[in-house]
Chains A and B, each alone.
Chain A
């Protein structure tokens, strides 16, 4: 079956602009999580969505937001981009539900460069 699909793979934006990244999870997976990966900070948790509801949120400013649609596809948005937002943004999907012993399946990520 198809894996986790993230689009676009690469983005270059200018400081002050906004950006929307998309993630399509594995069919049947209802949980989608987003992580920011930078060389200095490693993998930082942004937020998790389950059945269109934000279930967990990391310690990021309000410029970072997300949503999940009824088909489990998710988008994240970053407004007023800063140079420090340059990173690899990873989406991960999981079946979830009551049991939480599943790991994640990751997409290949979106490489965002802010200039």
Chain B
């Protein structure tokens, strides 16, 4: 079975400060990892993914994520937060070795960036 944990329901950060949204995962094989963002009354938008290769993945809107296999983590980061980054963020995983597995999502973390 595969699972994702996002330990923080909400993250507050001031504009201009760095932000981190945490994600840990569990899969039996090797993971594919994703981050999505959701704005109010909208679907999820893809931010970035980790498949193989460099542990630091760069994505849309200045976001990046660091894959850490030993800690089974895939934290989302941005060096300087914007008020417009305020949204709901989801981490997701699928097991590379389990055939046609689906994406499993975490419960989401609300990011609030204050001016």
A residues contacting B by CB (< 8 A) are 4, 6, 33, 35, 41-43, 45, 48, 50, 55-56, 90, 92, 96, 100-101, 103-109, 111
Contacts and interface: CB of A to CB of B under 8 A. Distances in A.
A96 to B, nearest CB: 8
Residue in B45, B94, B96 whose Cβ sees the most chain A Cβ within 10 Å: B94
Contacts of B96: 100-101
A56 B102 contact: yes
Nearest to A40: B107
Given A103-B46, A103-B49, A111 B41 contact: yes
Q: How many residues of B sit at the interface, in one of the four size bands?
A: 20 to 34
Contacts, number: 63
B100 A55 contact: yes
B32 to A, nearest CB: 5
B98 to A, nearest CB: 9
B108 to A, nearest CB: 6
Residue in B36, B46, B99, B100 whose Cβ sees the most chain A Cβ within 10 Å: B100
Contact of B103 (A41, A42, A104, A108): A104
Contacts of B102: 33, 45, 48, 56
B104 A106 contact: no
A33 B44 CA distance: 13
- The 3 A-B residue pairs whose C-beta atoms are closest, nearest first, are A106-B43, A42-B107, A43-B105
A9 to B, nearest CB: 9
Given A103-B36, A103-B92, A106-B43, 15 more contacts: A6-B43, A33-B103, A42-B90, A55-B100, A56-B101, A90-B43, A90-B44, A92-B103, A100-B101, A103-B32, A104-B44, A106-B45, A108-B43, A109-B42, A109-B43
B50 to A, nearest CB: 10
B13 to A, nearest CB: 22
A45 B1 CA distance: 14
A92 B107 CA distance: 17
A86 to B, nearest CB: 14
Contact of A101 (B51, B99, B106): B51
Contacts of B41: 108-109, 111
A50 B100 contact: yes
